[in-house]
Amino acid sequence: MGRARPALLSLALELLLLAGAAAAGQQARVRIVGVGFGSAVGGGFVQRPDRVFRAGEPVAVRVAVRVESPAGCGLSVRAQLLHPLGPPLSEASSSLDVPGGPSLWNLTFRFNLGSQLPSGYYRVRLTASACGAEDGYEAAFLYLSGFSTVNRIHLEYSVEVRGAGRVGRLLIALPNDPTLEVLGGPVVAPRPRAVVRDDLGNSYALFEGVEVRGAFRVTVELWALQRLAFVPADAPLTAPPPAEVRRFLEPSPYIESDNPQIASLAGLLVANSTTYREVVSRIADFVSSTLTYDESLAELPGYYSLGALWALNARVGACLQFARLFVALARAAGVPARVVEGFSLQAPEVARARYTHAYAEVYVPGYGWVFVEPQQRGSTFGLEPPMPGYLALVRGSGERVSVAGAALSASISQLEYAGSLSLSLSYSASAAPLELPQQRLPMVVQLPERAYYGDRLRVAPQIPVKGAVCEVSAGGPGTPLLSSAPCERGVELELDEVGRWTVEVFAWRPGYAPAYGSWVVEVLPRPLDASVEVSGAVMLRRATVTARTSPSVAGALVRFTIDLCGLREVEYAVTDEGGAASVSVGPLLLPCPMTVRVDVEKRGYTRAQASASTLVLPPPELALAAAAALALALLARRRKKPP
pLDDT per residue as tens digits for the range 190-218: 999 999 999 999 999 999 999 999 999 99
- Tell me the per-residue pLDDT of 377-411, one tens digit each, with 9 for 90 and over: 999 999 999 999 999 999 999 999 999 888 999 99
Q: Which among 350, 408, 417 has a CA at the least distance from the CA of 155? A: 350
Q: Which among 432, 492, 488 has a CA at the least distance from the CA of 465? A: 488
Hey, what amino acid is at 431? A
Contact between 81 and 91 (Cβ < 8 Å) = yes
Say what the pLDDT of residue 437 is: 67
Say what the pLDDT of residue 13 is: 41
Say what the pLDDT of residue 4 is: 38
Hey, how many other C-beta atoms are within 10 angstroms of the C-beta on 462? Answer: 12
56 Ramachandran zone, left/alpha/beta (phi>0; psi -120 to 50): left
Say what the pLDDT of residue 480 is: 83
- Tell me the per-residue pLDDT of 245-270, one tens digit each, with 9 for 90 and over: 999 999 999 999 999 999 999 999 99
Prior bond to 102 cis, omega within 30?
no
Q: Please give the Cα distance from 65 to 407 (Å, whole number).
A: 64
pTM of the full structure: 0.84
The residue among 507 and 115 whose pLDDT is bigger is 507
**Residue 9 confidence (pLDDT) above 70:** no
Give me the DSSP letters along 85-118: TS-EEEEEEEEEEE-SEEEEEEEEEEE---TTSP
**Residue 641 confidence (pLDDT) above 80:** no
Q: Which among 103, 100, 83, 80 has a CA at the least distance from the CA of 92? A: 80
Quote the Cα angle for 576-601-480, to 5°: 100
Q: Which among 460, 445, 466, 462 has a CA at the least distance from the CA of 509? A: 466
Hey, how many other C-beta atoms are within 10 angstroms of the C-beta on 466? Answer: 9
pLDDT band at 624 (very low <50, low <70, confident <90, very high): low
Tell me how far the alpha carbon of residue 270 is from its chain's centroid.
28
pLDDT band at 522 (very low <50, low <70, confident <90, very high): very high
- The helix (H) or strand (E) run that includes residue 609 is strand 608-615
Say what the pLDDT of residue 619 is: 78
- The helix (H) or strand (E) run that includes residue 18 is helix 4-25
**Rounded average pLDDT over 270-279:** 97
44: exposed, middle or buried (Cβ count in 10 Å: 0-12, 13-18, 19+): exposed
Say what the pLDDT of residue 622 is: 64
- High-pLDDT (> 70) share of the chain, %: 92
- Tell me the per-residue pLDDT of 449-490, one tens digit each, with 9 for 90 and over: 999 999 999 999 999 999 999 999 998 877 788 999 999 999
Q: Please give the Cα distance from 63 to 36 (Å, whole number).
A: 7
**Residue 156 confidence (pLDDT) above 90:** yes
Contact between 139 and 35 (Cβ < 8 Å) = yes
The residue among 185 and 348 whose pLDDT is bigger is 185
